[in-house]
Amino acid sequence: MTRRLLALLLLVTSGGCMTLLHVFEQRPTREQLVHIPFPLPAARSKVEVSGVWLRAINLAMDDFLPPGKEAKTPADACLFERENYDVVVVEPERARAVEENDGGTGSEEIDGGESDLDGGQRQGPEQSKHLLYVIILLRADVCQQGDSPLMDAGATYAIDTERWRIVGWSL
């Protein structure tokens, strides 16, 4: 029993170490840091993304291009880079209407989206007020697509933003 507990503890702590290592890998040393001016320079462009949208995008992107996904070809390596995609988030009008009628009480049920239409593309509940659609599109000017670009190079996800689950997807 003690041995099992020790093994579990080791597993958990090593997982934590790996996470910390990953964080440190992303961070430059103090000497390498770029100075952030005050005030910030005039913006050429800017965008504000809500936390809900950001989390929905992360959920979809983590499924579409899981971290650490290994490319077998140079073409794949390019297609596995997240910066080569654009993302569009759609909040359905119907969801907003349901929320208004519902008075925001959160009584709308979600069935979990495990249904599968004839083994085809999974569809989640469409009437949820906590639903965002995340569309991932490959940029046109990347990955040397040439005159024969890829059809269906991205995907569309339905994200339940209450339970934070993917409840549907299609090409």
Partner 1 sequence: MAGAARKAAHLWPLALVLLMAGCASPGKSLRRDLDFGEDGARVWVAGPWEVIVPAADVDEVIDQLCPAVMALEHAREHDDGWEYCGVLYTVGEMTYASVPSPLSRDTPGASMVKSCRIPSMVRDQRQPLAVLSDYHSHPWPDSPLSANDAALRSQRWSIRIQFDTRCHVYKLVPHVGDSVPGEVYERVAKTWRLVSIIRVEDKPAGLVQPPLPDGR
* Positions in the binding site for partner 1 (CB under 8 A): 64, 72-73, 75-76, 79, 86, 88, 90, 117-122, 135, 137-140, 144-156, 169-171
Minimum distance from residue 129 beta carbon to partner 1 (Å) = 19
* Nearest approach, Cβ of residue 66 and partner 1 (Å): 12
- Smaller CB separation from partner 1, 48 or 152: 152
Cβ neighbour number for residue 159 with a 10 Å cutoff? 30
Q: Nearest-CA neighbor of 160 among 46, 88, 81, 55? A: 55
Least distance in angstroms from the C-beta of 110 to partner 1: 21
All residues at 6 or more sequence positions from 143 whose CB lies less than 8 Å from its CB, including other chains: 75, 78, 79, 84
Query: Which candidate, 81, 78, 92, 83, places its Cα nearest to that of 124?
Result: 92
Q: Among residues 57 and 79, whose Cβ is nearest to partner 1?
A: 79
